[in-house]
Amino acid sequence: MRRALLTLVPLLAVLTVSAREPTVPTPAISPEARDRGVYHLATDAEARWVPFDLTPGNQIRFTMQLDGRKVTAILDTGVSYTLLAKASPAVDTAKLVAGGSAAAIGGSVALGWMPTRSLALGGLARTGGGVAVASLPAIATGSAAAVDLLVGADLLAGYALDIDYAAHRFRLLRSGRMPFKGETAPLRISTQRTVYESAIMLGGRRLAPIVVDTGDGSSITVTAAGWHAANLKALRTTTAIAFGLAGPTVSGLAIVPYLRVGALVARETEVRIEPAGGFSQTIGTAGRIGSGFLQSYRVLLDPGARHMILRRGPRAYRPPLRSTSGLLIGIENDRLKVLHVMRGGPAAASWKDGDMICMIDGAAVPRDYATNSIAAWSAGAPGRVVSLGLCDGSTRALTLRNFY
């Protein structure tokens, strides 16, 4: 049971789009000029499930092969080009060339480009081609250690992607396959951004395009303009923080009574509201559907067939966990770091970003905190008083309450 996933660690968002790259001082290879490689899907691909775990940031983490080397990866349909971490041992600096830059949550990031000999993922193999290269901090997954690779739309979009969140496994199938029944929503690959895109209905307004982003750990994100158009002023809102490749960003946060994704009606859904000029607006989209939403379903993403299929899982009937502490925190070994103090919450008056917590109700923060039952305090029952020991030796009492 993942008690800590939503109660303690902020749902982290990672998304890059590199459909267009500016001129850089050293020679760069444009996306159009890159060797795309040769792809082969095995005849027994349907049997080749890839097991995964969910990071503390809600992303799908697994292992695969890059140039014969085992690497850790995240499945990221919101990334245009598969991206290798600059610090990964799989980087061959002798082959690395300049690659321009890309838009990312939090700003812009510099890119490199590295040709590859082979990639292997489940039943899919690619020979030739290459990967983008950029800094990929551990905070982007909420984990202590960074992953090597973000697997993007360039590898995935030619196939149907079947994600069985309940069983923690996924597989790649030939486009047009229908391995299970569910509710249907539109899906395509954007010609402008080269990522997976759909649409949602929020407050009776259709918002599109919406990026379908398995690499974004949050649930639903919309632009400020989209939220305004939906006219949901009666809902209480607070603030939250997300971390992308280019750094942190603060957004609004609300729980909406219902929204639609194609034929699917989802109730009590967490929605993040980006400020004006935020990432979604910058790249010309209306927002994102993230893994925090998708994990309540079995999901088939098949842009070739122009649809995605969502079949409700056990999580689809659970209301979202709401913070009653007003603290969004990250884990640093045996202590907790306050990453954001939520607007209007019980912590707003006396807490600040960067505060370090070492004790909870007299107990030391355990190293397995993310999966330990002690982590439930942050979304505990309203009225409960929690004693939090700061790492400087002081103690603060925090009375939990509902505030959004």
Q: What is the pLDDT of residues 192-212, one digit of tens each?
A: 999 999 999 999 999 999 999
pLDDT at 7 over 50: no
Domain CATH number, residue 220: 2.40.70.10
In a domain? residue 350: yes
Mean pLDDT for the stretch of residues 130-158: 89
Q: What does the alpha-carbon distance between residue 138 and residue 14 come to, in Å, rounded to a whole number? A: 11
Residue 404 lies in a domain: no
Same domain, yes or no: 89 and 151: yes
Q: What angle do CA 235, 355, 329 make, to 5 degrees?
A: 50
Looking up residue 394, the CATH number of its domain turns out to be 2.30.42.10
In this structure, the answer to whether residues 341 and 307 fall within a common structural domain is: no
Between residues 316 and 24, the one the model is more confident about: 316
Identify whether residues 143 and 193 lie together within a single domain: no
Mean pLDDT on 345-368: 96
One domain for residues 294 and 365: no
Is residue 178 situated within a structural domain?
no
In this prediction, residue 29 has a pLDDT band, given cuts at 50, 70 and 90, of low
Tell me which of 253, 284, 317 is where a domain ends.
317
Final residue belonging to a domain, choices 290, 317, 344? 317
> Are residues 277 and 336 part of one domain?
no
For residues 346-359, give the mean pLDDT: 97
pLDDT of residue 4: 26
The residue from 292, 317, 342 where one domain ends is 317
132 & 230 share domain = no
139 and 200, same domain (yes or no): no
pLDDT of residue 371: 83
Mean pLDDT of 248-276: 96
Q: What share of the chain is helix, strand, coil (3-state, %, to 5)?
A: 10, 45, 45
Total domains in the chain come to 3
Would 322 be classed as within a structural domain? no
> Are 264 and 236 in the same domain?
yes
Residue 139 in any domain: the answer is yes
% the chain with pLDDT above 70:
89
Q: What element of type H or E holds 225?
A: helix 224-230
Q: From CA 145, how far away is CA 301, in angstroms rounded? A: 29
Domain annotation covers residue 129: yes
- What is the token pair recorded at 87? 């610090």
Q: What value does the mean pLDDT take over residues 378-388?
A: 97
> Domain limits at 385?
327-399
3-state secondary structure of 189: strand
Residues 119 and 233 placed together within one structural domain of the fold: no
Segment (H or E) for 154:
helix 153-156
- 118 inside domain: yes
Of 38 and 28, the one with more pLDDT: 38
Mean pLDDT of 24-31: 50
284 and 199 part of one domain: yes
Q: Using alpha carbons only, what angle is made at residue 261 by residues 257 and 265, rounded to the nearest 5 degrees?
A: 45
- % of the chain surpassing 90 pLDDT: 77
Q: Which residue has the higher pLDDT, 171 or 242?
A: 171
Confidence of residue 137 (pLDDT cuts 50, 70, 90): confident
Residues 231, 359, single domain; the answer is no
Please indicate, yes or no, if residue 120 is contained in any of the structural domains.
yes
If one compares 382 and 104, the residue with the highest pLDDT of the two is 382
Q: Counting runs of H as helices and runs of E as strands, what totals does the chain give?
A: 5, 32
Residues 197 and 237 in one domain: yes
- In this structure, are residues 375 and 7 in contact, taking their beta carbons and an 8 Å threshold? yes
